[in-house]
Structure 1
Amino acid sequence: MKRLAAVGLSAAVALAATASVHAADLPQPAETYTYDEPVPAERFDWSGFYFGGHLGWNWSDFGTSNGVTGSFTTRDNGVAGGVHAGYNYMITPEFLLGAEADFSLASIDKTRNVAGVSYKTSSDWNGTVRARAGWAFDRFLVFGTGGLAIADMDVAANGAKDSATRVGWTAGAGVEGAVTQNVTARLEYQYQDYGSETFSLGGQSYKTDLNNNQVRFGLSYKF
């Protein structure tokens, strides 16, 4: 009986081994691999309203002509700072159009003595309303800008003084980068031309024009 059981066990082992060899020879299903497609980073969206502040340096030239003094130029420079607000719209994923307005305070005050005449020129504030156009490289923007400019002009001579508000034009360019999804930083330059104004001071006529050069750094919050 024991011998019969041993023979049966041996036959079962041999059969199992044979089945394993045949199974190894059969075609095996191909291994499959799964992987997740990388999600492309979303481009920064420059569209929308924004508001911010700026601080920089202002160079002013007052060109004056008078029958007694002839023509001369008074130059001054100083800190200028203020606020700005605007709206951007992305025409394409790269091309931007927008509008912006700003207001700045400046400390421009200079006196020059010419031919015995003490002539003082000053300008305390200026503002602009401009169009903007730019090209976005994702979180980096290069832009140009231009539009209307407005500023005050104050003059004094011969014991008299006068003032005027002049409207002119401005043009400039700059670069801007996204610091966060809502905060951007910019560096820009503007040239502002306010034309000329004629002032009557102490019986003398003085024709004075004003132009500014401004370089300023700004921060904006995008809503």
Structure 2
Amino acid sequence: MKRLAAAGLAAAAAFAASAPAFAADLPQPEQPYTYTDPVPAERFDWSGFYFGGHLGWNWSDYRVTNAVTGRFNNNDSGVTGGVHAGYNYMVTPNFLLGAEADFSMSDIEKSRTVAGVNYKTSSSWNSTVRARAGWAFDRFLVYGTGGLAIADVDASANGASDSVARIGWTAGAGVEGAVTQNVTARLEYQYQDYGNTNFGLGGQTYKNKLDSNQVRFGLSYKF
């Protein structure tokens, strides 16, 4: 009897030891699939203040009218560069409104002799205060801009010279991209119109109309 009980206990122990291995060999029920939404990538935030610098090329067109010389053009082009600062506000996740001001130095100076009169025009600086509106594609922005412009307008003839700060208007467009979370790069075009300015030089009146076209590359730091 004791031998029978011992044999039974040994058989039970052997079965218990082999049960996990046996269970592992059996088909396992399929685990239910749990769907997890992917974590969306964080969008670039264009909002906030920024400050930067720009460098480009300026084409200026002086159209001069005088009783002696008649009408002639005194056009010139040169390097322009300066600083800009502004603020952006995201009205929607894609639509941006902002304001920007800039100041630029220009290398514009041209002399021309017409009907025996040596006439020189120049402009050494210009500045704008503009609104901006754009559409953001995450880290890429397309925008339009427009507002007030001011520049110095200089002229000399017949041994006399004069200079005024002339107010006009500007309009343009550009593209801008985020290089890092704080640094952006832009390529921008602006047209600036300063209207007519009359200079009395050496007893003669010279009517000047100045407009310019600027293409500028800039870098900005966003705070």
Q: Same fold (TM over 0.5)?
A: yes
2:75 partner SS: strand
Distance 1:29 1:84, change over 3 A: same
Q: Look up the match of 1:128.
A: 128
Q: Look up the match of 1:157.
A: 157
The alpha-carbon deviation at position 10 of structure 1 amounts to 6.2
Residue 63 (1) aligns with residue 63 (2): yes
The alpha-carbon deviation at position 35 of structure 1 amounts to 7.3
Backbone CA RMSD of aligned residues: 2.7
Residue 115 (1) aligns with residue 115 (2): yes
TM-score, normalised relative to structure 2: 0.89
Residues 183-217 of structure 1, C-alpha deviations (whole Å, 9 max, x = no match)? 00000000000001100000100000111100000
Distance 1:179 1:15, change over 3 A: closer
TM-score, normalised relative to structure 1: 0.89
Residues 88-140 of structure 1, C-alpha deviations (whole Å, 9 max, x = no match)? 00000000000000000001000011111110000000000000000000000
1:53 partner SS: strand
Give the AA of the match of 2:11: V
Distance 1:78 1:29, change over 3 A: same
Q: Look up the match of 2:221.
A: 221
Q: Look up the match of 1:40.
A: 40
1:184 partner SS: strand
Q: Look up the match of 1:13.
A: 11
How far apart, CA to CA, are the structure 2 residues paired with 1:5 and 1:180? 83
1:45 partner SS: coil
Q: Look up the match of 2:97.
A: 97
Give the AA of the match of 1:40: P
Task: Report the count of equivalent residues.
Answer: 220
How far apart, CA to CA, are the structure 2 residues paired with 1:11 and 1:67? 129
Residue 194 (1) aligns with residue 185 (2): no
Gaps (5+ residues) in structure 1? none
Give the AA of the match of 1:71: R
Q: Look up the match of 2:180.
A: 180
The alpha-carbon deviation at position 13 of structure 1 amounts to 3.4
